[in-house]
Amino acid sequence: MNSRQTIQEIIAKKKKGERIVMLTAYDYPLAKIIDQCGIDIILVGDSLANVVLGLKSTREVGMEVMLHHTKAVNRGVEHALLVGDMPYEAYQIKPEFAVKNAKRFVEEAGCNAVKLEWFDRCLDVAQDIIRAGIPVMGHVGLTPQNAERLGGMKLQGKDASSAQKIIDNAQALEKVGCFSIVLECIPDKIAEIITRKLKIPTIGIGAGPACDGQVLVTHDLLGLFDWYQPKFAKQYVKLNEIIGKAVTQFREEVRHKDFPSAQYTFTIKPQEFKKFKINK
């Protein structure tokens, strides 16, 4: 825990021109693997709802489930900054509970910061959480918790006025003290303008190469979730195929009585076994 990246180190990377690398994790083994690869920030994203729980909307995941997974991730993270994604119910239904819920991510689940998606009372909520001493990462552009209102899981900021709103929102989040901002699914040139205007780092997902860092949903990167694949979700490996092969091989070995072979079997010494038979 003590050797985790700090907020100051993350911000300093922008000044030094070093790219920030962020990934999601939802459980202990993947968190440990990702952390040991030297990833800067691990986000327990509410994308958990889609890629782990098979739910349609991220709104369907609540505080208890997010905390349950975040605690598991926390046990696997030594070096990365750990960010908890505040679920919709934690701050958008009753913003007055936002600080209490943000504190639960830090005190119960070991997070170093929380992330909030933009909504109409986002600035007040972010400010309250920051004043309570908890660092906040903002999130503008496509904000899946309000995807329905944004016309679905689509590119945002396509026209000048909506692009301007995204730029204004990002600047306002910086002003209230956010330490970084996720830019999701916006045109590259708009992301570039935001990145230039802000002193805090921008972390893009579907926002082009000019951002100060990049984030992907780990299950997309690993090819574990290919039922819905946005254009920006680069698949670095097809783990679904590799897992499918292994499971099929196991099925066949069991059916053909090839598994377990001697290598995977425990034995008892013959003299002991003899006694056992005699006693019987």
* Active site amino acids: 184
Kindly state the helix (H) or strand (E) to which residue 271 belongs, with its residue range.
Answer: helix 270-279
Among 182, 185, 211, 221, binds ligand KIV (CB under 6 A): 182
Only one of the segments 44-52, 91-99, 159-167, 259-267 lies at the binding site for ligand KIV (rule: CB under 6 A); that segment is: 44-52
Q: Backbone phi, then psi, for 59, in 5-degree steps?
A: -65, -20
Residue with tokens 């496509």: 142
Cβ-based nearer residue to ligand KIV, 47 or 74: 47
Q: Which residues inside 71-130 make contact with ligand KIV, applying CB under 6 A? A: 85
Residue nearest to ligand KIV (CB): 45
Cβ-based nearer residue to ligand KIV, 45 or 223: 45
Question: Which residues have a Cβ under 8 Å from the Cβ of 201 and sit 6 or more positions away?
Answer: 10, 11, 13, 14, 20, 180, 181, 212, 213
Question: Is residue 180 near ligand KIV by the rule CB under 6 A?
Answer: no
Distance CA 121, CA 129 (A): 13
Kindly report each contact of residues 246-251 with a partner whose C-beta sits within 8 Å and lies 24 or more positions away, as own/partner.
none
Cβ-based nearer residue to ligand KIV, 234 or 275: 234
Question: Is residue 204 near ligand KIV by the rule CB under 6 A?
Answer: no
217 and 45 Cβ atoms separated by less than 8 Å: yes
Residue with tokens 């679904």: 240
Nearest approach in angstroms of CB 66 to ligand KIV is 10
Distance CA 250, CA 234 (A): 29
Cβ-based nearer residue to ligand KIV, 23 or 272: 23
Q: Which residues inside 217-236 make contact with ligand KIV, applying CB under 6 A? A: 217
Question: Is residue 214 near ligand KIV by the rule CB under 6 A?
Answer: no
Rule CB under 6 A: which residues touch ligand KIV? 24, 43, 45-47, 85, 182, 205, 215, 217
